[in-house]
Chains A and B, each alone.
Chain A
């Protein structure tokens, strides 16, 4: 390439265009201040529901979407009101939020950080969403939470179980209702001790991303504290579908417990592989071989079928709980969709109500007002007993369920049974716990 025809006129013209191009950004710097990003001006307010509709966690995402639609109905005073009737805070009146009718837009995270951010950005920039809710992967949750902090909207996390979401990646505009790896470990350890004894050798297979890493760290720490030995920890790529090559070495490692730090399709496949290899029929070190799945979900249990029988794990919430809030939610969800809600659906429903309630109590949609209303907020009647939204890290503290795969399921939804409800006090930790250290909440960002 050569610029042979360089003339004076050409040079001036090129210079003028280049100069205009460079000057443009400066010219456009003038911002208009409306107080905060996407302040609702009309008679409606828009919420953004960002869930995986395709990819490995699509099942969870679609169930979240059902719950979110139900929550919008209840907020607008349609349907039977669900958990709004049992919620300890009575700020919500069924006339929308602050009198504005609730509308929503949806997006597909594809369980990819990039795609999730693009779809959240579209909802914020194009549709004027004041809050983003949902998601079913910690990687995605961390990515979207960061985006919401920059954009100045509230992020109500959906299913995200990594310690990092409210640990080193915590953000002032982000809130998590779901429990985390540390809580699972704290709840599971005593149950595992009772069931399998103090002298066990554990082998970990771990999904290779933020959630897998932190959950493995938590489980290993909790089980080692009660006398177990961690033989090995093998990281598996999230995209794997066949775990045979990872299961085979377990047999020769001298381990007698296999901990599967896997979720969704990963967990279904790895558990199925493990059962096919006959691990559960083996005896090692004179003890029966056991499998532990620290994070359970109904949808996974349904996917793994009879393989989950007798396998212990933990959950945030289960539709079999018998408190008033859970019963009301299961009833209205069941009437609308003909199936019981999963625990990811529950979390997204509750998060939507909590956001609406916080706005009502704050009297404004301004994220900083909402943050203030949610910090150190104590509530009850949403299915988990008394709950605290801790202001230090925006993590909810509540009871944790320890579950076990049911031996004789009566129908396709009856796959898990509740072994124990671990009280909140047992799973609490200090905000500066080493597993959660390193991050900074920062200041709430109202945007614009």
Chain B
């Protein structure tokens, strides 16, 4: 379907189902239960899941296929956000021009940075992109304050011109009248499920971005990028100029980042310089590696994983912990809280770091590899069967990589 192989169609189907039913899937616990702490099905976080999913998918087109590790992708995210907010300020709250400009600006910006950085490969490329991103951050933070409003972040004021804004349109980013922050809540017994326009808008983009990524992965262009990863020198010796291909991959992934940045601004019309900081660039690298670099679904999983930790674990405070262990005797309760305390709340980075270490050491292929190993456990037949079947099984696992 849609020019995809059966396997890829299935994968796309899984992504579509997951994103469309996310409000149910992410809210497995009743709202009043103690476990509601772990529910992630509220609009803001779901939007972040899919937006950073798009960001990571784009990053993976560069890193997963060509092996070029960019440490400066947050710059394109930031450029996208600033462009989108400027469109809101100048034209109207309609998201269409904002997203279009965000993608175009990020594309231009990445073409410029890519043109220079791609003259080098390996660690030098990473350092160059890191330098550019840090430059952009500092420009946005202090030099270009008239354009970026510095540390405060670019915001929309009632005094902004908004030449195309009609009086009846909502005063919030909207798609032809459907405001991104409007939502409807479904009560079902003890459960509450929130469906937000903004989330489904982003989800549509995620599905589109995922579909495009599959097409790129399976195209001759994608094959060329993989060839760059496996042995660029050999390609050069055969007389092939690889730079147009790597530059194209860089610009495509930059545009993905720009789209993600534009969507971030569309969900919440504010663009802060921190979005461009090197930590933000590092985050997308973590997402991709955690999920599984070079796999299709990996980056999306990685993005969800990290955002979940950032938003859910960071909100567990001592008060909540005491609530959990209230059934224990006082001394033991305090001891339990003291043990868990460093790993939650402001210590969520520590938990994430430990998990990242475990994944990199035991599952070098990321969460996707974990899934495959689990799958193999349940399909023992594949390993014990005769030679014909084991060949088939091997082919299947190769295809899965």
A13 in contact with B152 (CB, 8 Å): no
Q: Does B30 contact A (CB under 8 A)?
A: no
Query: Chain B residues with Cβ under 8 A from A6's Cβ?
Result: 3
B181 in contact with A114 (CB, 8 Å): no
Interface of chain B residues 38 through 74 with chain A (CB within 8 A)? 39, 42-45, 48
Query: Chain B residues with Cβ under 8 A from A114's Cβ?
Result: 153, 270, 272, 274-275
Determine the distance from Cα of A112 to Cα of B78 in the docked complex, in whole angstroms.
14
Determine the distance from Cα of A237 to Cα of B277 in the docked complex, in whole angstroms.
14
Interface of chain B residues 175 through 232 with chain A (CB within 8 A)? 175, 178, 181-185, 194-197, 200-201, 204, 207, 215-216, 219, 221
Determine the distance from Cα of A59 to Cα of B185 in the docked complex, in whole angstroms.
38
Query: Chain A residues with Cβ under 8 A from B378's Cβ?
Result: none
Q: Does B165 contact A (CB under 8 A)?
A: no
A112 in contact with B142 (CB, 8 Å): no
B212 CB → nearest A CB, Å = 8
Query: Chain A residues with Cβ under 8 A from B242's Cβ?
Result: none
A237 in contact with B138 (CB, 8 Å): yes
Query: Chain A residues with Cβ under 8 A from B215's Cβ?
Result: 1
A112 in contact with B141 (CB, 8 Å): no
Q: Does B1 contact A (CB under 8 A)?
A: yes
Q: Does A438 contact B (CB under 8 A)?
A: yes
A395 CB → nearest B CB, Å = 18
- How many residues of chain B have a CB within 8 Å of chain A? 54
B152 in contact with A210 (CB, 8 Å): yes
- Residue of B184, B196, B272 with most chain A CB atoms under a 10 A cut-off: B272
Determine the distance from Cα of A440 to Cα of B145 in the docked complex, in whole angstroms.
22
Query: Chain B residues with Cβ under 8 A from A328's Cβ?
Result: none
A113 in contact with B151 (CB, 8 Å): yes
Please give me the residue from chain B that is nearest to A24 by CB atom: B200
Q: Does A91 contact B (CB under 8 A)?
A: no
Q: Does A226 contact B (CB under 8 A)?
A: no
Q: Does A245 contact B (CB under 8 A)?
A: no
Q: Which 4 residue pairs are nearest across A and B when measured between Cβ atoms?
A: A209-B151, A121-B44, A126-B42, A113-B272
Which residues of B line the A interface, CB within 8 A? 1-3, 32, 39, 42-45, 48, 138, 141-142, 145, 150-153, 155, 157-159, 172, 175, 178, 181-185, 194-197, 200-201, 204, 207, 215-216, 219, 221, 268, 270, 272, 274-275, 311, 314-315, 317, 319, 345-346
Which residues of A line the B interface, CB within 8 A? 1-6, 10, 13-14, 21-22, 24-26, 28-32, 42, 53-54, 58, 69, 104-108, 112-115, 117-119, 121-122, 125-126, 138-139, 142-143, 146-147, 150-151, 164, 168-169, 208-210, 235, 237-239, 438-440, 442
Selected A-B contacts with CB under 8 Å, 24 pairs = A1-B219, A21-B207, A22-B204, A28-B195, A31-B182, A31-B183, A42-B32, A54-B346, A113-B270, A113-B272, A117-B270, A118-B48, A119-B315, A121-B44, A125-B194, A126-B39, A126-B44, A142-B152, A151-B181, A168-B157, A209-B152, A235-B142, A237-B142, A239-B141
Given A28-B183, A31-B182, A115-B274, 10 more pairs with CB closer than 8 A? A1-B216, A113-B151, A113-B270, A118-B48, A119-B311, A143-B152, A146-B270, A150-B172, A208-B145, A208-B151
